[in-house]
Amino acid sequence: MPEKTDISKYDLLNFSTAHQASMKSETEFYRSGNYLLYIKLRCHSLFLMNSRFSFCPRYETPPSGIELFSCYQFPNSGTSHDFQAFKKLNLTDKVPNFNKCHSDFYATIKPVWEKVQSLMAEHYNSWKSLPAYEIVEFIQKLHTLYKGRENNAIYDQYFIYENQYLRQQFDRFLSAKDFNDWWEGDAMGVLK
């Protein structure tokens, strides 16, 4: 039997922290005039946000103003930082091709995100239907494994601890390897 994963890694707080850090960095790069890194970090922030939602149980209704697993399209004009970054790099003519490249990237990983979220929902619903004493028993087990972590996200997502497929996906999402491969390959190919 495979070793149980450290499910504290799946804590949504980790995804939120990484997302917030990426958003902060993108702002700093824009202010310092490093517009290419701004565009990269802007895309990375969006990637992390989508990754975080894939590890949530399926939403009955998506959070306000958020379309899950959607690909952001950079504007072709205007005063936003997103367009101005392309303008300052003299790459405004590349925006349509970059948007297509970005959409193609999301199209390849969206099925995996949806599969992860479907599994999360399946296990979440199974957990919710357990007898109360089994839920309490498992929460006590989690307390033993993760002392001092008073975090409902860990309790609600205990099924990650039990599911091999979800465990195998973790490094892929949190390390953002897929994102970095896309940026260094396809994205930079369009922007050069």
| pLDDT tens profile 48-77 | 888 888 877 766 666 666 677 889 999 999
- Average pLDDT estimate for 28-47: 95
Q: What is the DSSP letter of 47?
A: H
- Is residue 80 pLDDT above 90, yes or no? yes
pLDDT number for residue 139: 73
CA distance 113 to 121: 12
- Average pLDDT estimate for 145-168: 62
Phi, psi dihedrals of residue 175, rounded to the nearest 5°: -75, -15
Helix (H), strand (E) at residue 137? helix 132-145
CA distance 118 to 38: 33
Q: pLDDT tens digits for 119-138?
A: 778 877 877 788 988 878 87
CA distance 25 to 152: 29
| Burial of 60: CB neighbours in 10 Å, binned 0-12, 13-18, 19+ | exposed
pLDDT number for residue 36: 97
Q: Are the C-beta atoms of residues 160 and 5 closer than 8 Å to each other?
A: yes
Name the token pair of 21. Answer: 């850090």
DSSP string, 144-160: HHSTT---HHHHHTHHH
- Is residue 151 pLDDT above 70, yes or no? no
pLDDT number for residue 141: 74
- Is residue 157 pLDDT above 90, yes or no? no
Q: pLDDT tens digits for 4-14?
A: 556 666 666 67
Torsion on CA atoms 176, 179, 185, 190, rounded to nearest 10: -150
Share of the chain above pLDDT 90, in %: 38
Using 50, 70 and 90 to split pLDDT, how confident is the model at 147? low
User: Distance of CA 53 to CAs 10, 83, 92, 95, 107, Å?
Assistant: 11, 26, 31, 27, 16
Q: What is the DSSP letter of 91?
A: -
pLDDT number for residue 176: 59
Is the pLDDT higher at 81 or at 159?
A: 81
CA distance 52 to 6: 17
- Average pLDDT estimate for 43-50: 89
